[in-house]
Amino acid sequence: MGSHLWENYFKPTTKEKEINAILKENILFQDLTQKQLKFVANIVHLRKYRKDEAIFRQGEVGVGMYIIVQGAVDINVEENQAQEGHHRQYVVMTKLGPGDFFGELSLVEEGGRRSATASATDNTTLIGFFKPDLLEILERNPAAGVKITLRLGEVLGRRLRETNDRVSVLEDEIKKFRSEGDS
């Protein structure tokens, strides 16, 4: 009858444990102590999306990043600007699943626009980590904020290198194509 009176309200819930575990596996948060992880877990946001629901759209102002807890997300780029009365055409750039994250550039860009559309391909649960969250962590727990920011810089640098490598490959392919056309 009164067993709820004796429940331990300070014991972490299964949901908190799950969020801590997911954060710990993510490169941005892997250097945090258990105490810092708990602090961050209390700041981030759990969001649920239905199948085919847009998480954000290309051209919108970015406010933060997302980590996939369960489900799947497609990252799509609009093929060409839709004209009035015409349906938009999208090209799937990548498919993401549990543990993957996306949208991290918006944590450092001021008023930056989304370069792609992200949409749930299944019923999907995400952890949202937004710029105000990062700023709060930097203010209230600078040691954790610095660890996250350094890892964020590493991720952005790695993604920039990967993009540069892809551009170089495409440039080489274009040169080959042009030289074949000249002969």
Residue 2 within a domain: no
Number of other CB atoms surrounding residue 122 within 10 Å: 14
| 3-state secondary structure at position 32 | coil
Q: What is the pLDDT of residue 89?
A: 79
Give me the domain span that covers residue 160: 7-182
* Prediction pTM value: 0.80
- On whether residue 153 sits in a domain, the answer given is yes
Taking residues 172-181, what's their average pLDDT? 85
Neighbours of 148 (CB within 10 A): 26
Assess if residue 144 is contained within a domain: yes
* Structural domain contains residue 63: yes
Whether the CB-CB separation of 90 and 82 falls below 8 Å is answered with no
Per-residue pLDDT band at 75 (split at 50, 70, 90): very high
Answer yes or no: is pLDDT of 80 > 80: no
- The DSSP 8-state label assigned to residue 12 in this structure reads P
Chain centre distance of CA 100: 7
Q: How far is CA 5 from the centre of its chain?
A: 40
Per-residue pLDDT band for 40 (boundaries 50, 70, 90) equals very high
> Which parts of 26-141 fold into alpha helices (H)?
34-41, 131-140
Q: In this structure, is residue 73 part of a structural domain?
A: yes
- pLDDT value of position 183: 64
The total of structural domains in the chain comes to 1
pLDDT, mean over the chain: 88
Q: Is residue 112 part of a domain?
A: yes
> Is 152 domain-assigned?
yes
CATH of the domain at 155: 2.60.120.10
pLDDT digits (tens, 9 = 90+) for 128-172: 999 999 999 999 999 999 999 999 999 999 988 988 988 888 898
In a domain, 1, yes or no: no
Which of the two residues, 183 and 68, has the higher pLDDT score?
68
Helix/strand/coil for 157: helix
